[in-house]
Amino acid sequence: MEHRRLGRSGLYVSEITYGNWLTHGELVARDTALACIQAALDAGVTTFDTADVYAQGAAEQVLGDALRTVRRSSVEIATKVCLPTGDGPNDRGLSRKHIIESCHASLRRLGTDYVDLYQAHRFDERTPIEESLIAFDDLVRQGKVLYLGVSEWTAPQIEAALRIAADLGLRSRIVANQPQYNMLWRVIEPQVLPLCEREGIGQVVFQPLAQGVLTGKYQPGRPLPENSRATSGGRAPQFISRVLGPVLLDRVQRLRPLADEAGLTMAQLAVAWTLQPGSVSSAIIGASRPEQVTENAVAAGVRLPTDLLSKIDEVLGDLIDRDPTKTAQMMSVKPDWNRPKP
């Protein structure tokens, strides 16, 4: 496992981050979840990502339990705050009240005194940025948070936060961004990536496999695989349904020879692809089985040749989405993704 600096900060993260969205506490049994985390540790993964809203806190609890016997300083734990964790008007957003209370609750569930990276899960239009940034800065000053990040913020939102933090003279600064990014979904490339490269903000990207579609296991004209996310309970099917169009599935199958050429599985090719930009610090993988973690972790350290990257672009062609207005709109896919085959 190789490690990269998180932007221009002094923190190093593993190229593969293990994340537990839609799995721990929701789709995956506890024993299996613990086995997946152990597989990540065995593969050299040191960075783990979760959020207070994942399974309404259960995901943080499982992760904390799994890492309880691991030397705390040997891992980097990231969690998030913003999305609703209850029915009350203050159980969401980036108000000072919700940030402080959610951080304390996350620390309890994770069984730790601090988190390495605390991220604003979405932008909050209702709360002044100044209020949010000061609350985050206070947590850093108290030693409960070491580094700050955002997730699915637009370039103007990130830029405004950086400017306001500087104007306020805050010690802490945004050093990480967690966007959705994969071969098909490249909406951060026109605006977010250039800004972050200029400002020294590292990307910790999620959905490198596009909900598993880029593994090639979903094939056009065939029944959905049993025990897959598409056929599971919970919320997973609603997310994956957006990438199950016949044209898209057919095009993904054309990537198989390219993966074979590179000596990689299709999943490894997809994860390795996200790690090619220098501004990407880590790619988040999830798993429902330990062997998936082991397979995908192989993508760390893989450098894809330029001609292979060009061939991937040629195959996916008009299906690639680079529309910057779709940041934080993961369900707003291109209509072509779901069009029937001619």
Residue 206 structural domain = 3-337
Cα(311)–Cα(332) distance, integer angstroms: 26
Tell me if 173 is assigned to some domain. yes
The Cβ of residue 84 has, within 10 Å, a number of other Cβ atoms equal to 13
Dihedral over Cα of 105, 108, 113, 119: its sign: negative
CB 179 within 8 A of CB 151: yes
234-249, pLDDT tens digit by residue?
555 666 667 777 889 9
Residue 174 belongs to domain with CATH number: 3.20.20.100
In 140-290 the beta strands, taken as DSSP E runs, fall at: 145-151, 174-178, 202-205, 280-285
Q: At residue 191, does pLDDT exceed 60?
A: yes
Give the pLDDT confidence of 65-99 residue by residue, as tens digits.
Answer: 999 999 999 999 999 999 999 999 999 999 999 99
Which pairing describes strands 12-14 and 16-19: parallel, antiparallel, or unpaired?
unpaired
Contacts of 177 by beta carbon, 8 Å cutoff, 6+ apart: 149, 150, 151, 153, 158, 192, 196, 201, 202, 203, 204
Q: Are 211 and 229 in contact (CB under 8 A)?
A: yes
Look up residue 220 and give its two tokens: 């056009």
* Residue 282 falls inside a structural domain: yes
The answer to whether residue 60 sits within a structural domain is yes
Predicted confidence at residue 239, as pLDDT, reads 61
Question: Is residue 256, in this structure, part of any structural domain at all?
Answer: yes
155 falls within a domain: yes
Tens digit of pLDDT for each residue in 116-144? 999 999 999 999 999 999 999 999 999 99
Name the active-site residue from 18, 54, 118, 147.
Answer: 54
pLDDT of residue 235: 59
Residue burial 294-313, b: 16+ Cβ < 10 Å; e: rest: ebbbbbbebebeeebeebbe
Q: Please tell me the predicted confidence (pLDDT) of residue 141.
A: 97
pLDDT in tens, 195-245: 999 999 999 999 999 988 999 988 877 766 666 565 555 555 666 667 777
What does R_g of the chain's alpha carbons equal in angstroms? 19
Count CB neighbours of 99 within 10 A: 26
Q: Identify whether 244 is part of a domain.
A: yes
Percent of the chain's residues with pLDDT above 70: 93
| The pLDDT value given to residue 308 | 97
CA-based nearest residue to 135, from 111, 103, 159: 103
Over residues 272-285, the mean pLDDT reads 96
Domain count for the chain, please give it.
1
Residue 342 lies in a domain: no
For residue 21, give the DSSP letter: T
Is the per-residue pLDDT at 341 higher than 80?
Answer: no
Average pLDDT over residues 95-110: 98
pTM: 0.92
Residue environment code for 127-141, b if the CB has 16+ CB neighbours within 10 A, otherwise e: bebeebbbbbbbbbe
- Quick check: helix, strand or coil at residue 200? coil
**Domain-embedded: residue 265:** yes
Which backbone phi and psi does 38 adopt, to 5 degrees? -65, -40
- Amino acid 342: pLDDT: 56
pLDDT at 120: 98
Whether 18 is a known active-site residue: answer no
| pLDDT above 80: residue 31 | yes
Q: CA dist 302 to 185, 233, 264, Å?
A: 21, 34, 10
For range 263-283, the mean pLDDT: 96
How far is Cα 73 from Cα 172, in angstroms, rounded to an integer?
21
Is the pLDDT reported for residue 1 higher than 60?
yes
State residue 224's pLDDT score: 67
